[in-house]
A = this chain, B = another copy of it.
Amino acid sequence: MSAAEIKAKILGVATSLFEAKGINACAVDMIINASGVARATMYRHFPSKDTLIMAFLRSKADAFYEWLNRGLRNQKGKPADKLIALCILMEEWIGTPNFKGLPFHIGTIEFPEPDHPVNQFSITLAKELQEYFSALAKEAGAPDPAGLSQQIIMLFEGAALVERVAPGSNAAAKAKDAALLIIRGTLK
């Protein structure tokens, strides 16, 4: 196995464990045992557990954006349609059976201290998301793009939360319906 493959394996195993048991509940021992990697090897690729956590959040966010970009790329039509498509894509992402939560705000709950690196990193992730959505809302001609963006984010972050507590409750679909009501009501 090459160095890059080993790093990817560590990150993959850590991802599964973090999602299944929560970040704080995962010891480094679990990660190295589950990935069959030596302790020193893990620390060579990720100088600290915090680094590994941030890599985990980053990769989840990247995968999410890639999914959105691919889905929105061939979206012609009116600019508002892109915003609608966004909501449908979000519904699919959150509604998928093995959905495990969005990576944008979790870090601030598991690491609430403002000076913790993971907390700070989460805040930049949340800002990124806000800007991504805001740009689409602006294209769609929303009078207050940042506001509409925030409303959509609140809705789907809430859906992700509810989906964790009550799996199979179709929270994603209900969030999408609500988002469409908000968008149509806002763009008039």
Contact = CB atoms under 8 A, between A and B. Distances in A.
Contacts of A166: 123, 126, 130
A75 interface: no
B24 A24 contact: yes
A38 interface: no
A180 to B, nearest CB: 9
Interface string A13-30: 000000011101100000
B185 A181 contact: yes
Contacts of A153: 158, 162
Contacts of A112: 20-22, 25, 164
A151 B164 CA distance: 15
A24 B109 CA distance: 10
- Taken together, the copies of this chain in the complex come to 2
A106 interface: yes
- A contacts with B: majority SS: helix
A177 interface: yes
Interface residues of A, number: 43
A178 interface: yes
A46 interface: no
A54 to B, nearest CB: 16
Contacts of A162: 105, 126, 150, 153-154, 157
Interface in A148-169: 150-151, 153-159, 161-162, 164-166, 169
Q: Which 8 A-B pairs have the closest CB atoms?
A: A154-B158, A158-B158, A22-B112, A181-B185, A157-B158, A151-B178, A109-B109, A126-B165
